[in-house]
Structure 1
Amino acid sequence: MLITEILARNGRMYAEEIALVERDPATGLRREISWRSFDQEANRLANALLAQGVKRGDRVLHLMMNSLEWLPCYFGILRAGAIAAPLNFRFEAGIIQTCNEIAEARVLLFGPEFIERIEAVKTALDETIRHYVYVGPESDCPAFATPYAGFVDGADARQPDVSMEITDSAALYFTSGTTGTPKAVSLTHRNLEHACYVENQHHRQTHEDNFLCIPPLYHTGAKMHWFGNFVVGAKAVLLKGARPEWILEAVSEEQATIVWLLVPWAHDILIAWENGELDFGRYRLDQWRLMHIGAQPVPPNLIKAWRKLFPHHEYDTNYGLTESSGPGCVHLGVSNGHKVGAIGKPGFDWEACIVDPEGNRLPPGEAGELLVKGPGVMECYYRNPEATAESLQDGWLFTGDIARQDEEGFIWLVDRKKDLIITGGENVSPVEVEHYFLEHPDIQDIAVIGTPDQRLGELVTAIIQMKEGRSLTEQELLAYAERLPRYKRPRRFHFDKVPRNATGKIEKPRLRKRYGAMSEA
């Protein structure tokens, strides 16, 4: 079933029930929209796009912060038969221009936060973009754009008659672009539909569940986790902000049952508990049944601490990539808590294997590149046949991640291939070293990179972020590292804040540049 038809069904079956809630704790604003209104708003935008000459297969850039309008706009683009291209809200003007040079979009929908960035490159954008649609307060609409209300004014709220196939391209998701030109991952309607079933099969959402969504919707991770609720017409809450007290207030007041957290946010909640900064007795949390976490390797000690605080929670983690339609191609499963630290087994309707550099399958215990195969594998890198040929072979997606499989079939992520440190001829996994140091009670966060050394090639270098009010000396850290094999011990330490992007991943290219690593890639 086309994902747009799932929305239409929800609009019919659950017409007046609340589909989405937006909470902004900084302003106290709370808004909501019903399934019928969600469906009709998507139709209005689709019909308005069609009236302006947008055709099946045309690209539409979508540059907005999380809001109540984000998803109706996304589905409106799909309803028109066009291809939605959500952009990372951290993209600077030059990257926005580059993305459009790839997409050659006809329309740009954007929020108030992006006016200056668009103005900086508008001359270049004008080469393809015919309509700029401003989704924000009408009084602040720039002269070059049309207010959203004006753009959809008079548009029919009924579903447009657009012929679409499930194999049609549906969306372009751009890679981060932090180390060069971003690649555009092309996903089909089939990819998006499959993501709904994967998430629902893994977490068994029912119509009574309520999903608290905090990460940015431009990323496949947040949206595809929401898809598990979407496919059964269940409610979701969009929370703008990730302070521990805001998360717990939203869970309590909205009676959320499922929360997907990034590692830093989970750490922050645990630290607030440890420091006595939150009165957990103030919140109604008994209905919160599932905490799942992902987007990066999860330190086992974090989950052990979480279970002490929330012993009734089911815990799960998923592994995925934008190229695999988001999370779920590998999945731990709520019944496998004894395997905390593993990313799991192949997810619903997925296959996985681990291969050596020549593509030969490796036996259990040996580390190699992780490959995945299934209905969620991307169509291609849009207009980039070389990169597509490197990543897709015989239906298998080469993930670029190094992993190993144990005797029970569980997959353990070792590291990104490009992040491995080679010191004195030995391969060191930064993730392994990071997890080791995160067990120290005074360390809040850590990033491990390789920095150049004339004798050994690279040295293991640790950037340490201390918990507030705590301190450690380099000698104390060296002493703590003595349980690690000698070649894995950091030789250099820097005390600094660990930068993470909007999806929680450590921004190692920035750290490599700052601390003089051999490569910023």
Structure 2
Amino acid sequence: MRLTDYLDKGASLGPGAPCLTTGDRTLTYGEVQELSWRVTRALDRSGVRPGDKVAVLSANDSTAFSCVFGISRAGAVWCPVNPRNEAAENRELLDLFDCTCLIFQEAYAPLVAKILPDLPKLTTLVCLDGSADGSADGSPDGSPDGSPDGSPALATPFARWLEDVPAEPWEASPADDTVMLVGTGGTTGSPKGVMLTDRNIETMSALTLMSYPFGTRPVYLALAPLTHAAGVLCFPVMTLGGEIVIMPAPDLTDFLAQIERHRVTHTFLPPTLIYMLLGHPDLASTDLTSLRCLWYGAAPMSAARLAEAIDRIGPVMAQLFGQSEAPMMISTMAPEDHFHADGSLAVERFTSAGRPAPLVTVAIMDSAGRLLPPGERGEIVVRGSLVMAGYYKNPSATEEASRHGWHHTGDIGYLDADNYLFIVDRAKDMIISGGFNVYSAEVEQAVMEHPAVQDCAVVGLPDDKWGERVTAVVQLHPQQSVTDGEMRAFVKARIGGVKAPKQVEVWSDLPRSKVGKVLKGDVRSRLLHRGSHG
């Protein structure tokens, strides 16, 4: 299935059904189809050919997401670009991806103007919601031609770009099976482009539908960026003719109101936002009875907070574990898997990432390429049609990630006797203290059990005595306090003195990525910088 097939499948179940809703505006499946046909024809008129790369730079928006299906119909490759990235990172990604067309919101015109001089391959620019620079329109083919006063217009307004384009079915044959190019981000050096194929997305969608509870016409609430997990989760929802309610900005008060208003059945939140939701004053008074599945993932979840979420939100918590290179569904844990057969909480599973998904093979490998038995720790490796085609124009990185015939996730973990997958750390986050391997994720779980703690990050810092000292940086709930001695004793009682933090810091907030992950590299850098300055 191409990306457009998910939309067409939903439309076949009723073109008048709601498809994309933002605020008070709803586009039906038929309307999104017609818009995608017009976008396809406009792309073709602008010179975009099958295999060309088309980037979308936008906050969560119905029209922007509709363009994705036009890109697919044109046989082009969708390049989702996160507007929260730094300008330099987006310039690097657009250059790396060889993008020839950029569709963007007017709010990001300053960013586009800043990076455009360094992107000669970018010849077609379209502004979704304005003229992008306050000057007159550009030329109808989408190139940034001059305006009547002689000044160059940054981009063609979307309405002008679609002028005289009929809303009639048309599509081109794709050049190959690549449907998405996803940037890995620059947190581990230069960004890489993950090539995802139609088979990757089809496998992910199938795993979603077979692993979690769905009924007819689900209602999916997208708060997290559509450039990430929230976006690809739309595709399986569309196969059932479901409605996708899109939130332009992350606001938990509005999030709760939308669940009640639209009778939302499915949604996704990273753990950090779930912790904030549990402290929200409107949670107890909101009707959440429509929810069937609240996915959590993208970072480790505190077992203590997970139990609280099940109690206060409902028996709807559902875990997923994946990465850009193997999207979303390496392992899954449905709501029912959080319970024993007798209805009691299966707390021993709460620190796991669930079981390997049905169409995915997961194993644990040592540094020599040997597969390890249950209970032994090593790198989590994956095989199957979920795994990417490779990194765009980077054969050495592709070869490195696929050593010994398996995709290497960079995560350390183990499989238990019941085939539950436990992720103990990112390989790069492991701390060696006093000659012992200390997994930061394990220490974080212990810290998060403290009732005063809202969120935390555990990192290793250079230490003359220990080699690295375990350092915990905690963010507390409002009006809460804890001393470093209390926290050290609390953790020591749970996982022992070797793993207990030697240093405890209390910060008002933690640095986070665009998708809500705590940035441990930033935490560590700040601590090191402060230490070097006395």
Does the alignment reach a TM-score above 0.5? yes
Aligned equivalent of 2:375: 365
State the AA in 1 paired with 2:201: L
Specify which of 287, 296, 300 is matched with residue 299 of structure 2. 296
Q: Give, in angstroms, the shift of residue 347 of structure 1.
A: 0.8
Find the counterpart in structure 2 of residue 183 from structure 1: 192
Query: d(CA) in 1 for partners of 2:66 and 2:258?
Result: 22
Paired AA for residue 273 in structure 2: W
Return the alpha-carbon distance in structure 2 between the equivalents of residues 198 and 80 of structure 1. Answer: 27
1:91 paired residue number: 85
Give the superposition deviation at 1:139: 7.4
CA distance in 1: counterparts of 2:132 and 2:491, whole angstroms = 58
| Unaligned residue ranges in structure 2 (runs of 5+) | 136-152, 339-345
Shift of 1:395: 5.0
517 and 61 in structure 1: CA distance in 2 versus 1, 3 angstrom threshold: same
Aligned to 1:137: 130
- Segments of 5+ residues of structure 1 without an aligned counterpart are 24-29
| Bigger shift: residues 328-337 or 409-418 | 328-337
Contact 1:171 1:186 in 2 (8 A): yes
Of 202, 205, 216, which aligns to 2:225? 216
Greater displacement, 379-388 / 338-347: 338-347
Structure-2 separation of matches of 1:8 and 1:386: 38
The one-letter amino acid paired with 1:132 is: L
Q: Is the 8 A contact 2:73 2:171 kept in 1?
A: no
Number of the residue aligned with 2:242: 234
Equivalent pair of 1:54/1:82 in contact (CA under 8 Å): yes
Q: Which residue of 2 aligns with 1:322?
A: 324
Structure-2 separation of matches of 1:463 and 1:152: 51
Kept in 2, the 8 Å contact 1:141–1:147? The answer is: no
Structure 1 distance, partners of 2:474, 2:244, is 36
Instruction: Give the deviation of 1:396 after TM superposition.
Output: 2.1
CA distance 1:478–1:6, change in 2 (3 Å) = closer
Distance 2:134 2:398 in 1: 39
Q: Structure 1 residues 376 and 6 mapped into 2: Cα distance closer, same or farther (>3 Å)?
A: same
**CA–CA distance in structure 2, aligned partners of residues 415 and 159 of structure 1:** 48
The CA distance in 1 between the partners of 2:358 and 2:73, in whole Å, is: 27
Q: CA deviation at 1:123?
A: 1.0
The structure-2 alpha-carbon separation of the partners of 1:468 and 1:210, relative to structure 1 and needing over 3 Å to count, comes to same
Q: Cα–Cα, structure 1 residues 11 and 278, in superposed 2: closer, same or farther, change >3 Å?
A: closer
Aligned mates of 1:249, 1:434 — CA distance in 2: 32
**After the TM superposition, which residues 73-472 of structure 1 pair with which residues of structure 2 at under 5 Å, given as runs?**
73-125=67-119, 127-138=120-131, 143-164=153-174, 168-219=177-228, 221-272=229-280, 277-278=281-282, 280-281=284-285, 283-311=286-314, 313-324=315-326, 326-337=327-338, 338=346, 339-393=349-403, 395-472=405-482
Q: Check whether the contact 2:224–2:515 (CA below 8 A) recurs between aligned residues.
A: yes
Which amino acid is the alignment partner of residue 332 of structure 1?
M
Name the residue aligned to 2:11: 11
The Cα offsets for residues 113-139 of structure 1, whole Å up to 9 and x where unpaired, read as 3211221121111x1011111112347
Distance 1:309 1:94 in 2: 42
CA deviations 1:355-385 (Å, max 9, x no partner) are 1111111111111000111111101100011
Q: Which amino acid aligns with 2:43?
A: L
Q: Please give the per-residue CA displacement for 1:307-362, whole angstroms capped at 9, x wherever unaligned.
A: 22134x232101000001x2112112333212222111211311100011111111
Q: Relative to structure 1, is the Cα distance of residues 342 and 377 closer, same or farther in structure 2, using a 3 angstrom cutoff?
A: same
Cα deviation digits, residues 60-92 of structure 1 (max 9, x gap): 121111111122111111111011111122222
State the partner residue of 2:20. 20
Look up the SS of the partner of 2:474 in the other structure. Answer: strand
**Which is worse superposed, 74-83 or 4-13?**
4-13
Partner residue of 1:504 out of 516, 523, 534? 516
Closer/same/farther in 2, CA of residues 244 and 123 from structure 1, 3 Å limit = closer
Structure 1 CA distance for aligned equivalents of residues 45 and 527 of structure 2? 53
Pair 1:61-2:58 in alignment: no
What's the RMSD between the two structures over aligned residues? 1.8
The aligned counterpart of 1:36 is: 30
Q: How far is the alpha carbon of 1:246 from its aligned partner?
A: 1.8
Q: CA deviation at 1:455?
A: 2.6
Q: 1:364 to 1:419 in 2, by over 3 A?
A: same
- What secondary structure sits across from 1:38 in the alignment? helix
- Whole-angstrom CA distance in 2 between matches of 1:400 and 1:347: 18
Does the residue aligned with 2:482 lie in a helix, a strand or coil? coil
For residue 516 of structure 1, report the CA deviation from its aligned partner. 1.2
